[in-house]
Amino acid sequence: MPRTIGVVGLGYVGLTLTAALADKGFVVHGADVQRSVLDTLSRGRSHIFEPGVEEIFAARVGTGIHVADELPRDTVEVAVICVSTPVDEATHRPNLANLAAAARAVTATCRPGTLVVVRSTVPVGTSRRVVLPELRAAWGDDVRLVMAPERTIQGQALRELVELPQVVGGLDEASRRAGAEFFAGLAQTVVEVADLETAELVKLSNNCHTDLIYSFGNEIAMIAEQHGLDPLEVIRAANVGYPRPDLSKPGYVGGGCLSKDPYIMLDSSGEYRPYLVGRARELNEFLPAHVAETVVRLMREARGEIRGARLAVLGWAYKGWPPTDDMRGTPIATMMPIFSAAGITVTGHDPMVSGDVVRQYGGEPVSLDKAFTDSDAVLVINDHPDYRAIQIAEMLPAGEPRPVLIYDSWRVLDEAAVTHAGVRYAALGYLPKVAAA
């Protein structure tokens, strides 16, 4: 079994894999082109929040973990490519330049025959069409190539890297066997599949299915809103004792994977044009804009003129549970232009996100207590545990200034306590009527 591993790209995927492998006793050499990332990691610190990662780096950097701008020459037995494959914001086409560059970097420092693992999310056929030619140009036929997709959830990556089955597809049988042997040293279960393309489609299928499931919950919420119904009551009643798959609650769908992988799936579809994948993504991208427009409308109904009104937004990372500081696919990016156009001043709070990041997105940092006492409205975007623990009676004491609206996207606050304080309560697909004065 190989024991010395190279990881090319120390973003979220490469960082967590490096930590998990080192924790299993592998010697890992991580390479990244960003000097700031290398400086942070070389000090035993993590540039990305993920429980357990920083502790592993602090304990093993310089011994079990080494970081540099390239892999050491003729040293690693396995080179894992974990670079980003971004999607163009305008065309939604994937950019695979990083992948090709990483493959060339591997051939420049590694011996022919080194097992190369593609871990990045790619369109079907990419490992064979983009990576393989780079390897063969340098190494001839002495190539072992595997596709083994990353499928972890943020906040639980170290555990899932061990507990989730690792899917391995190879260029040939020898490659597949080598890949299976390598991942057997990390994970409890290895699932071997026929080829590179099957493994590529596995990752896209998992993420697009998740996007689709969430979009259906959002579809229910949009329809319930039209009829003045409570979508959570509909979903709870539909799920109780029913033996078919549960319906998902409505919610925002962001992050580095779900916000781009459907477009990579669409890019993989060839002449067939998928019916579901694109429409599900369209709905999930529509939701933040719909919420922002709804908040503006409800504030206007309550206050009349809203130019200069203050809106406190709680939760700037794309999700609150498991906690993350990841801003990729965050709803606030879509919402801010709508609030700005309405003349609303936005303040922001997130336990995981710095004030500088809030400012970068156009908000002004605010404390949690001031969010409720110094704002005309409050919008809760994610479900971080700190927000679930909020005691509304303490945040809205009698006689204090109070918002006219609390829009609780994830239904984490006590609705009865909000309305008892004389504040209108609303949520995704849920707009209870205001009682007549």
Residues with Cβ within 8 Å of 44's Cβ and at least 6 positions away in sequence, in order, are 54, 57, 58, 59, 61
Given this model, what pLDDT does residue 398 score? 77
pLDDT range class, residue 1, cuts 50, 70, 90: confident
Q: What is the DSSP string of 279-324?
A: HHHHHHHHHHHHHHHHHHHHHHHHHS--TT-EEEEE--SS-TTTT-
Task: Report how far residue 45's alpha carbon sits from residue 53's, in angstroms, rounded to the nearest whole number.
Answer: 9
pLDDT for 28 beyond 80: yes
Amino acid 2: pLDDT: 87
Quote the pLDDT of residue 380. Answer: 98
Q: How confident is the model at residue 204 (pLDDT cuts 50, 70, 90)?
A: very high
- The C-alpha atoms of residue 127 and residue 124 are separated, in whole angstroms, by 8
Mean pLDDT of 210-229: 97
Judge if pTM exceeds 0.75. yes
The pLDDT of residue 437 is above 90: no
Q: pLDDT tier at 252 (50, 70, 90 boundaries)?
A: very high
- In contact, 364 and 371? CB cutoff 8 Å: no
Tell me how far apart the alpha carbons of residues 376 and 373 are, in angstroms, rounded to a whole number.
8
Q: Is the distance from CB of 352 to CB of 324 less than 8 angstroms?
A: yes
Token pair belonging to 230: 């409570």
Over residues 371-430, the pLDDT tens digits come to 999 999 999 999 999 999 999 999 987 777 789 999 999 999 999 999 999 999 999 999
* Max CA separation in the chain (angstroms): 81
pLDDT at position 327 is: 96
Q: How confident is the model at residue 338 (pLDDT cuts 50, 70, 90)?
A: very high
Alpha carbon 245 to its chain centroid, in Å, reads: 24
97: confidence class by pLDDT, cuts 50, 70, 90: very high
pLDDT of residue 397: 76
Please compute the mean of the pLDDT values over residues 272-285 and round it to a whole number.
97
Q: What is the mean pLDDT of residues 132-137?
A: 98
Residue 356 pLDDT exceeds 80: yes
Contact in structure between 205 and 264 (CB atoms under 8 Å)? no
Mean pLDDT score of the chain? 96
Tell me: the pLDDT tens digits for 32-91? 999 999 999 999 999 999 999 999 999 999 999 999 999 999 999 999 999 999 999 999
Task: Go through the domains of the chain in sequence order and give each one's CATH number.
Answer: 4-195 (3.40.50.720), 202-437 (3.40.50.720)
> Looking at residues 9-38, what average pLDDT do you find?
97
In percent, how much of the chain has pLDDT > 90? 96
Q: Is the pLDDT of residue 336 over 70?
A: yes
Sign of the torsion formed by the C-alpha atoms of 65, 154, 160 and 128: negative
pLDDT at residue number 435:
60
Banded model confidence at residue 436, pLDDT cuts 50, 70, 90: low
- Start-to-end CA distance of the chain, whole Å, equals 74
